[in-house]
């Protein structure tokens, strides 16, 4: 891969925990994201998958600096977002936007659709007059499949799918090249999900957008992504081209995650890998490999040495001492 | 009831505003010949120990009481809301400092504060305004802070940050409109309290200074001649009670309208 649009290096975020008492020191804090590295190419879709609470959404917010990172570098075309000053940051926000999961909470209930969509443009000083704003907003509404007549309505007059279109119009208004899509369809009806996914793909083709598509829905990820990164307890455990991740996962967690996904074909019976226990609390991450407490392959070394992401196949990296094709040894993908 | 309260309050406000035109006598004019009179056609609420017309004093007293009762809470709401917004939104040291000052002031009795200020500066309208503003501002700061804290994480605030908006615009445009409801409810209730406190401070001689009338010092003056003429005390007491009752009714109604939780 040539120089990526976005390169994340060693990104980490520890949320400070509350002090336990007046004289006691604060607890160890929550390691939401730990030493995460990721490359995203221009005009591509990288999916970030994992269970809820694994740090996917935090990662998306860290990259956009909606949350301040504790460690690491986020290079957007070589420019470090994590170290950018306010003015530089504002300029960078023109290049990178976000689409939120919640189409209801992500818009101020008192502001009109036109005001909502024009807000990033206005913040960036990209619109001069009210007439120009109307024109731009009308164009954006058409691009996302809504009528320009709707611009003076309030968000509550729209359905979830329509609101998500408004959210998309807001995100593309400033002409970004990178968009974090934080579970953009998981709050929507299944019938609407496909429309929104198609809209995202059309816009990507037209505008050469790069997406970081955060999702726990593997079926949609399979449809939209080119590369997939699997997260567990704040770390990327496996990352690679979609085909490799879905067909030849090398990390036992990826294999277990895939085996748990429902299959469209009911005749395809296969063994599900049931992981024992719960995800450990991010306040006390296990030593060594975070996954060892639930991993069927765990050995003594897994508690001692933390596995690093290493190449296991063409373009595919896994963080496991025992990474291998079909690590748990079951037939995947149905029969 | 709400409508009746609104009518009563509107009437009181109008009377206060047009006190000169409404009052039958000069509230300061004394008359040795007509002290401690019972209510009559000439003096509807009688006269006090100095022969001043009680009705005229109540009408002019409404002006002081309402002016202070409204301006102190409004000032406190503006200052408190600003501090609460800043503390809740930015967190960190700003929040801790504002929070500690708030706690300190909330623990300090208003009357004691009134006595200290009256002793250090002087009694009078401006001192009372200062005392009541300082006493009330922390209450608004708390409410504003709690509401801001809840909104700080709201996705639409994140969206505004992602858009590149400055913190000032975000606070003014996205947070303030959403916390103004609870602040207004508390404001209506604190206006009632401010009127009571004005009366208390004036009664204790820490507020409006004689010979000027306020509801509090009408009661204070009346106390000296309570057995000669109870009319000043009764009239001023009723004026305070009716106003406070009307304000509380309105406050409850505003809360019911703004807060869907209590709507029945």
- Report pLDDT digits (tens) over A171-199: 999 999 999 999 999 888 888 999 999 99
- Report pLDDT digits (tens) over B67-126: 888 999 999 999 999 999 999 999 888 899 999 999 999 898 888 888 888 888 877 888
Is the residue at B240 inside a domain?
yes
How many domains in chain B? 1
- Report pLDDT digits (tens) over B36-84: 777 777 777 777 777 788 888 888 888 888 888 899 999 999 999 999 9
Is the residue at B129 inside a domain?
yes
Nearest-angstrom CA–CA distance, A318 and B205:
80
Residue extents of the structural domains in chain A:
249-335
Element (H, E) at A8: strand A6-15
Looking at mean pLDDT, say which of A210-224, A275-289, B27-41 comes out highest: A210-224
Average pLDDT over residues A206-210: 93
Nearest-angstrom CA–CA distance, B138 and B76:
8
Average pLDDT over residues A136-147: 93
Query: Which of A214, A238, A244 is CA-nearest to residue A289?
Result: A238
- CB–CB contacts below 8 A, A to B: 55
Q: Testing the interface with B: which of A123, A171, A183 to mutate, by most B Cβ within 10 A?
A: A123
Q: Are strands A45-49 and A227-232 parallel, antiparallel or unpaired?
A: parallel
* pLDDT of A212: 95
- Report pLDDT digits (tens) over B209-259: 777 788 888 888 888 777 877 888 888 889 999 998 998 888 888 877 776
Cβ atoms B204, B113 nearer than 8 A: no
Nearest-angstrom CA–CA distance, A54 and A186:
16
Looking at mean pLDDT, say which of A22-31, B48-57, B135-144 comes out highest: B135-144
pLDDT at A22 over 50: yes
Domain that holds residue B198: 55-259
Q: Testing the interface with B: which of A57, A65, A108, A183 to mutate, by most B Cβ within 10 A?
A: A108
Q: Are strands A178-182 and A96-99 parallel, antiparallel or unpaired?
A: parallel
Q: What is the pLDDT confidence band of residue A334, given thresholds at 50, 70 and 90?
A: very low
Task: Quote the ipTM score.
Answer: 0.84
- Report pLDDT digits (tens) over B158-191: 999 999 898 999 999 999 988 888 888 888 888 8
Q: How many CB atoms lie within 10 A of CB A159?
A: 12
**Both structure tokens of B4:** 């009746």
Strand order in the sheet with A310-313: A96-99, A178-182, A210-215, A45-49, A227-232, A235-241, A316-318, A310-313
CB contact under 8 A, A98 and B158: yes
Beta strands (DSSP E) in A183-309 are 210-215, 227-232, 235-241
pLDDT at A306 over 80: yes
Is the C-alpha dihedral spanning A20, B87, B127, B221 positive or negative? Answer: negative
Residue B155 at interface with chain A, using a CB cutoff of 8 Å? yes
Nearest to B174 among A90, A108, A170 (CB): A108
Closest chain A residue by Cα to residue B177:
A110
CB contact under 8 A, A120 and B156: no
Residue A71 at interface with chain B, using a CB cutoff of 8 Å? no
Is the residue at B92 inside a domain?
yes
Nearest-angstrom CA–CA distance, A204 and A38:
20
Q: Domain with B70 in it: what CATH number?
A: 1.10.3720.10
Q: How many CB atoms lie within 10 A of CB A28?
A: 12
Instruction: Specify the residue for token string 């922390």.
Output: B138
SS3 label, residue A312: strand
């Amino acid at each position: 891969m040539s120089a990526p649009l976005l390169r994340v290096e060693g990104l980490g975020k520890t949320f400070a925990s509350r002090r336990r008492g007046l004289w006691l020191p604060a607890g160890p804090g929550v390691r939401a994201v730990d030493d995460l590295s990721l490359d995203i190419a221009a005009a591509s879709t990288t999916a970030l998958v994992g269970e809820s609470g694994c740090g996917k959404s935090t990662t998306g917010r860290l990259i956009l600096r909606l949350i301040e990172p504790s460690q690491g570098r986020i290079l957007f075309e070589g420019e470090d977002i994590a170290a950018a000053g306010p003015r530089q940051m504002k300029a960078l926000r023109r290049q990178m936007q976000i689409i939120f999961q919640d189409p209801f909470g992500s818009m101020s209930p008192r502001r009109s659709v036109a005001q909502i969509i024009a807000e990033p443009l206005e913040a960036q000083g990209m619109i001069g007059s009210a007439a120009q704003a109307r024109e731009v907003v009308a164009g954006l509404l058409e691009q996302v499949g809504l009528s320009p007549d709707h611009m003076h309505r309030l968000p509550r007059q729209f359905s979830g799918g329509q609101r998500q279109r408004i959210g998309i119009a807001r995100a593309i208004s400033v002409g970004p090249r990178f968009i974090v899509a934080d579970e953009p369809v998981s709050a929507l009806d299944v019938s609407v999900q496909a429309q929104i996914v198609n809209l995202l793909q059309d816009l990507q083709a037209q505008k050469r957008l790069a997406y970081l598509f955060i999702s726990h829905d593997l079926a949609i990820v399979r449809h939209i992504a080119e590369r997939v990164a699997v997260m567990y307890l704040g770390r990327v455990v496996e990352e690679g081209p979609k085909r490799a991740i879905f067909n030849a996962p090398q990390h036992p967690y990826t294999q277990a995650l895939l085996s748990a996904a429902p299959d469209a074909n009911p005749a395809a019976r296969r063994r599900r890998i049931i992981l024992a226990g719960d995800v450990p609390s991010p306040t006390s991450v296990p030593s060594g490999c975070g996954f060892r407490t639930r991993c069927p392959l765990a050995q003594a070394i897994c508690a001692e040495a933390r596995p690093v992401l290493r190449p296991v196949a063409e373009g595919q990296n896994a963080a496991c001492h025992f990474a291998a094709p079909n690590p748990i040894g079951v037939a995947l993908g149905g029969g | 009831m709400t409508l009746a309260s609104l009518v009563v309050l509107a009437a009181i406000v109008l009377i206060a505003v047009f006190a000169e035109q409404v009052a039958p006598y000069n509230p300061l004019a004394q008359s040795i010949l007509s002290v401690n009179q019972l209510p009559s056609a000439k003096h509807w609420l009688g006269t006090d120990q100095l022969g001043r017309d009680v009705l005229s004093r109540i009408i002019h007293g409404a002006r002081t009481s309402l002016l202070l009762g409204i301006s102190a809470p409004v000032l406190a709401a503006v200052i408190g809301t600003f501090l609460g917004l800043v503390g809740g939104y930015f967190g960190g040291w700003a929040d801790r400092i504002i929070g500690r000052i708030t706690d300190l002031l909330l623990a300090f009795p208003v009357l004691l504060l009134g006595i200290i200020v009256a002793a250090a500066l002087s009694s009078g309208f401006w001192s009372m305004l200062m005392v009541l503003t300082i006493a009330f501002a922390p209450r608004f700061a708390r409410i504003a802070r709690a509401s801001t804290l809840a909104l700080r994480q709201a996705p639409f605030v994140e969206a505004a940050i992602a858009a590149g908006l400055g913190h000032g615009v975000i606070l003014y445009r996205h947070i303030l409109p959403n916390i103004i409801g609870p602040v207004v409810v508390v404001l209506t209730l604190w206006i009632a309290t401010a009127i009571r406190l004005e009366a208390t401070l004036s009664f204790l001689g820490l507020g409006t200074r004689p010979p000027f009338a306020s509801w509090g010092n009408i009661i204070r003056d009346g106390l000296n001649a309570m057995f000669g003429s109870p009319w000043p005390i009764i009239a001023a007491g009723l004026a305070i009670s009716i106003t406070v009752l009307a304000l509380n009714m309105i406050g409850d109604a505003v809360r019911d309208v703004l807060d869907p939780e209590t709507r029945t």
